[in-house]
Amino acid sequence: MSEGRINIVLAVGDPRPERWTEPLKSLIPDASIEVFTDETPSPAGADYAIVWKPPAALFDQHTSLKAIFCIGAGVDSLLAVPTLPANVPVIRLENAGMAVQMAEYVAHQIIDITRNMGLYREQQGRNTWKAHRPIERAAWPVGVMGLGEIGGRVASVLAQLDYPVNGWSRSMHALDRVKCFAGQADFNAFLSASRILVNTLPLTSDTAGIINAQTINQLMPEAMIINVGRGGHLVENDLLKALAERRVIRATLDVFEEEPLPAEHPFWRDPHVTITPHVAATTLRDETIEQIAGKILALEAGQTVTGIVDRQHSY
């Protein structure tokens, strides 16, 4: 890589990497950017890596990185790359247009059920004009797990819509119109006050399998589960059992243990499950490039940046 410039290696899995390299070059005129793939490993010596599920060889080859930027909010797959250097800061994406997408997705799912929209869709098929009871928001308290960039926005939007909202995080937060709970000590109280459980946690050793039979059984009766975190948060068989018993009356799942969800998976056939293919909040290229370029320039100017992953807690 060239001397005296800001050398960047890019491995984001985009078949058209120029969609990243060109805007990056216009924001960082001094940048020299190489694309790294298993087939075409770039020359060694990059200062910064911008990655999504990068080949392990990248970190063997680029051994003088100053920072590694992840183009997702969740860094679980990046932290699992065995060659990831322990002493280089990993910087995750902070919101960059994802929080609003997630708020929209979760609100849509909740409104669909609380406003009986499924019933009206079904009635329309039978040319039936019949009004049902208006919603009682008090009967649908929502519990949002994770109050970070994404969960904080989700909780605030639902509170704005006058749903009773509980929020749970590792450290205590203060959010307008959201009843906040923190840590293991508050977990049971948080669950038993919630009927709709929304998961926006990062996947870590502390949160893996957190939506399981025990958790579900503490929710209010006729519960609803919305998982937009990671597939590894959910014990799928426990949810299937809870759905069969009508302990859970609806589940909306965007993420799965195995993606794409295998064709034979029972979730596909369950009429009470809504499935989307990991699209609840997608990385928006322009916002992402702008955020990462801004942080590279800040680091080059000796400033501190936010979004550095705490390796001890893995998020």
Q: Which is nearer to ligand NAP, 58 or 98 (CB)?
A: 98
Residue choice 58, 203, 219, 253 for contact with ligand NAP (CB under 6 A): 203
Give the Cα separation of 252 and 126 in Å (integer): 26
Q: Which amino acid is at 61?
A: Q
The answer to whether residue 147 forms part of the interface with ligand NAP (CB under 6 A) is: yes
Confirm if 220 and 197 have CB atoms less than 8 A apart: no
Confirm if 166 and 141 have CB atoms less than 8 A apart: yes
Residue choice 255, 261, 296, 305 for contact with ligand NAP (CB under 6 A): 255
**Would you please indicate which residues are annotated as catalytic (active-site) residues?**
230, 278
The answer to whether residue 143 forms part of the interface with ligand NAP (CB under 6 A) is: no
Cα atoms in the Cβ-side hemisphere of radius 13 Å centred on 36: 30
b/e code 266-300 from CB counts within 10 Å (16+ = b): ebeebeebbeeebebbebebeebbebbbebbbebe
The answer to whether residue 228 forms part of the interface with ligand NAP (CB under 6 A) is: yes
Binding part of the chain for ligand NAP, among 83-91, 223-231, 260-268, 291-299 by CB under 6 A, reads 223-231
CB of 59 to ligand NAP, least distance (A): 21
**172 torsion bin: left (phi>0), alpha (psi -120 to 50), beta (else):** beta
Residue choice 41, 54, 55, 74 for contact with ligand NAP (CB under 6 A): 74
Residue choice 41, 54, 141, 148 for contact with ligand NAP (CB under 6 A): 148
231: exposed, middle or buried (Cβ count in 10 Å: 0-12, 13-18, 19+)? middle
Residue choice 109, 169, 194, 215 for contact with ligand NAP (CB under 6 A): 169
Binding part of the chain for ligand NAP, among 11-19, 123-131, 168-176, 211-219 by CB under 6 A, reads 168-176
Site residues (CB under 6 A) for ligand NAP?
Answer: 73-74, 98, 146-151, 169-171, 200-204, 206-207, 228-230, 254-255, 278, 280-281, 315
